[in-house]
Structure 1
Amino acid sequence: MSQAPLSPSPLPRRHRGFLAVVFGLLLALTAPGAAAFAQTTADPSYETTVSWSVRPADTAQGTGRPNFAYELNPGGTAGDALIVTNRSVDPIDLGIYAADGFLTADGTLDILAGGEPSTELGSWVDIDVPQLTLASGQAVEIPFTVAVPADAAPGDYAAGVVASMLVTGDDGTITERRLGSRINLRVLGDLVPALSVTNVSVDYHGTPNPIAGGAATVTYTLVNDGNTRLSPDVNVSVAGPFGWAPVTAAEEVPDLLPRSSIERTVELASVPPLALLTAEVTATSTVVSPGITTDAALPEPLVSNGSAATAAVPWTVLAILLVIAALIYWRIRAHKSAKVQQQRAIDDAVAAAKAELAAAETTDGPAPVPAGSAATPGSP
């Protein structure tokens, strides 16, 4: 089990009810039996030899377990134990408590900080020894009992049982260090898995190169609306009209607890600009076993979909086409203008010639009769 170095948290002593959790309980959701470990923040000025470890004890509930897992009916109970070992050179004082689990924004499982009230599984765990002092190298088995209320709703629940140390700095700030193991519980009854894909959006980012494709950014939210823990496999695709030129990407998403949600963003490259871009998000979810051997049949995988569309305008191509169209228009106009000017010159020349001819006829008049050629009246 990993060691947890000390690190300060700027929280006044009077706010003990809202202790900052510097060493959060990181309990992996990637596998039902994944072991818990403590998050550490490196601060060399606070490095010490203080260290301890925790693990599930070997009991009637199981041996060699990475964490705790139960299937109980409403009103059922289970007894178990946590082994805490002091790996420090000096004695240490630890508090033992359980708290509800929740998903962080990135999908990591964490538990409520010490002092924050639990309302579900964390409040159903009764610790026999909530405070203890361990000598160097000493290991102690801490019994606890999980008691499910008679009116508990069927479904999956998550919590953690931790060994915690409070460290007070010289300035009165308090830091909580904690290390623990995850608790998975399935309250038996009707399992109703449900997952919705919401808030799907897509943005397109083109490039100046008219041949190369742009990038599409797809954002979506997965919401676990059911009462089971789900493991979604997500496929994100974008395509042009009529499904032309599809680009797809597979997305790894952490397990989702009931009534939890997670927002994800996927970048897809080499997406051609085909005027209209449609994004499709398909999530195929399976119900996760609580982590113990069971003969109970799990529900069939469920498929959820969401979509969105946006404009993917090939601006560079349009600009090139616009320039070409402008050149063609200019050439046509120029050709027409030249023909008009040529015809006008011809018409002007013809009109000038006609005008000269008419002027000449008006100035000269009828031709004169030669002398002596006219007949004399009364001549024989």
Structure 2
Amino acid sequence: MTRSSLRGALALLAALWAVGATGLVAFAVPADAGGSDTTWSVVPADANGPDGRSVIDVELAGGQEVTEHVAVINRSTKPVVFAIDANDGYLTAKGYFDMRPSDATPADGGAWIEAPDKVTIPAGATSVVPVKISVPGNVTPGDHPAGVTASVETISGQVRVQNRVGVRVNIRVTGAYVAKVAVTGLRTEYTWSWNPFAAGSVDVTYTVANVGNIRLAPDSRVRTSAFVGESGWDDTSEAKTREIMPGGSREFTARVTGVWPMGPITTNVVAIPSPAGKSLPGITAERVAIDTMVWALPWPQLALLALLILVFLAIRVTRSRRRRRIEKLVELRAEQMRVMRA
């Protein structure tokens, strides 16, 4: 192996190790460790066992603390030692909740959680793990997402894989709540229909950022205004129910159909956020509107018009030539008759 090949192999091995060091967190569902017979799940609990919740929601003032519990259920046929970890939570690009890797130092809500480092659970048994949440006295009011996981490490070749199953912990610090969004990056593109008798569509892309301090669930209204009327689009998909964390943002797309290309088309986007999770009486987020304009000329319709004009001209030319030919034949026949009479 040459030196350059050796460096490439080492770099590939390092990349595989980094990729395999931590797996994504599965929340509230059973998981297995790399295809082995180790299967487990983690759910919210009280001191006696699972309590039916899907997430842990706590609301505390700065300086307060509370002890929650998670139940780690070993569904395997052998005893398993699970590593317990707490860290900050975040949302993926698709809006799903996840946690920072276990080797990352928590900087927010995850740093306020204390739990045992490890727990050994017999086959088929359930262990209730206490989770102490202590909020510092000088933190910013609002939502500080976190999570608690139980994990098992496996070795596949030379790659270490950490399989984690966790419970989401929504920590809300009381105080002056701010519900506010910003809409940026609005882009529009017109798509013509191949059928000149059908309208086209406007593809809209925009970003909604949560610039407040509580989780928000956005809803959107997209309207287009053109020379021949207005069209609209409402987000009826499940995507609108996925929240945006404080300081986070999400990109949205929409397709407004039934838009005729008759020159300038104005697109208006209105973001309508509402607090996610526990209701907050008196807290509402203001609607934020942004608009832009795109030009769309009726090329298919103009092409059809041009074709009709060409057909019309061709018919006129053909008729004119036919008329002249008939006139010449009539003149020739008349000339022949004169010759015959003479």
TM range, normalised to the smaller chain? 0.7 to 0.9
Residue 302 to residue 11, structure 1, CA distance change in 2 (3 Å) = farther
Residue 325 to residue 116, structure 1, CA distance change in 2 (3 Å) = same
Alignment of 1:221-240 (within 5 A): 221-240=207-226
Query: Within the alignment, does 1:37 sit opposite 2:25 as a pair?
Result: no
* Residue aligned with 2:194, SS: coil
Alignment of 1:313-328 (within 5 A): 313-322=297-306
**8 Å Cα contact 1:68/1:184 also seen in 2:** yes
**8 Å Cα contact 1:11/1:174 also seen in 2:** no
Pick from 195, 214, 225: which aligns with 1:209? 195
Q: Per-residue displacement from partner, 1:98-125 (whole Å, max 9, x unpaired)?
A: 1111111111111111101210001110
**8 Å Cα contact 1:155/1:227 also seen in 2:** yes
Query: Within the alignment, does 1:250 sit opposite 2:235 as a pair?
Result: yes
Alignment of 1:326-345 (within 5 A): none
Pick from 127, 151, 157: which aligns with 1:140? 127
Identity among equivalent pairs (%): 28
| C-alpha distance in structure 1 between counterparts of 2:51 and 2:32, whole Å | 28
Aligned twin of 2:25: 24
Q: Per-residue displacement from partner, 1:127-173 (whole Å, max 9, x unpaired)?
A: 1x21122220122121121111111000111111010111112x220
1:286 maps to amino acid: S
**8 Å Cα contact 1:245/1:272 also seen in 2:** no
Residue 37 to residue 19, structure 1, CA distance change in 2 (3 Å) = same
Pick from 256, 272, 293: which aligns with 2:260? 272
Residue 14 to residue 232, structure 1, CA distance change in 2 (3 Å) = closer
| C-alpha distance in structure 2 between counterparts of 1:305 and 1:284, whole Å | 9
| C-alpha distance in structure 1 between counterparts of 2:47 and 2:125, whole Å | 20
1:145 maps to amino acid: K
TM-score (norm 1): 0.72
* Residue aligned with 1:47, SS: coil
Query: Within the alignment, does 1:177 sit opposite 2:163 as a pair?
Result: yes
1:312 to partner: Cα distance: 1.7
Instruction: Please identify the structure whose Cα radius of gyration is greater.
Output: 1
Q: Per-residue displacement from partner, 1:311-335 (whole Å, max 9, x unpaired)?
A: 1211022234445667899989xx9
* Residue aligned with 1:22, SS: coil
Flag structure 1 segments of 5+ consecutive residues without an equivalent.
1-9, 27-35, 336-380
Alignment of 1:164-203 (within 5 A): 164-169=151-156, 171-203=157-189
1:148 maps to amino acid: V
* Residue aligned with 2:176, SS: coil
Query: Within the alignment, does 1:308 sit opposite 2:308 as a pair?
Result: no
**8 Å Cα contact 2:188/2:294 also seen in 1:** yes
| C-alpha distance in structure 1 between counterparts of 2:15 and 2:304, whole Å | 68
Residue 86 to residue 39, structure 1, CA distance change in 2 (3 Å) = closer
**8 Å Cα contact 2:196/2:304 also seen in 1:** no
Pick from 113, 127, 137: which aligns with 1:150? 137
| C-alpha distance in structure 2 between counterparts of 1:173 and 1:19, whole Å | 6
**8 Å Cα contact 2:233/2:255 also seen in 1:** no
| C-alpha distance in structure 2 between counterparts of 1:47 and 1:85, whole Å | 18
Residue 93 to residue 286, structure 1, CA distance change in 2 (3 Å) = same
Residue 73 to residue 323, structure 1, CA distance change in 2 (3 Å) = same
**8 Å Cα contact 2:143/2:171 also seen in 1:** yes
1:67 maps to amino acid: V
Higher strand share: 2
1:288 to partner: Cα distance: 2.2
1:59 to partner: Cα distance: 4.4
1:47 maps to amino acid: G
1:63 to partner: Cα distance: 4.4
| C-alpha distance in structure 2 between counterparts of 1:148 and 1:284, whole Å | 31
Aligned residue pairs, count: 302
Aligned twin of 1:71: 59
**8 Å Cα contact 1:11/1:20 also seen in 2:** no
* Residue aligned with 1:246, SS: strand
1:156 maps to amino acid: D
| C-alpha distance in structure 1 between counterparts of 2:88 and 2:125, whole Å | 28
Query: Within the alignment, does 1:299 sit opposite 2:283 as a pair?
Result: yes
1:68 to partner: Cα distance: 1.0
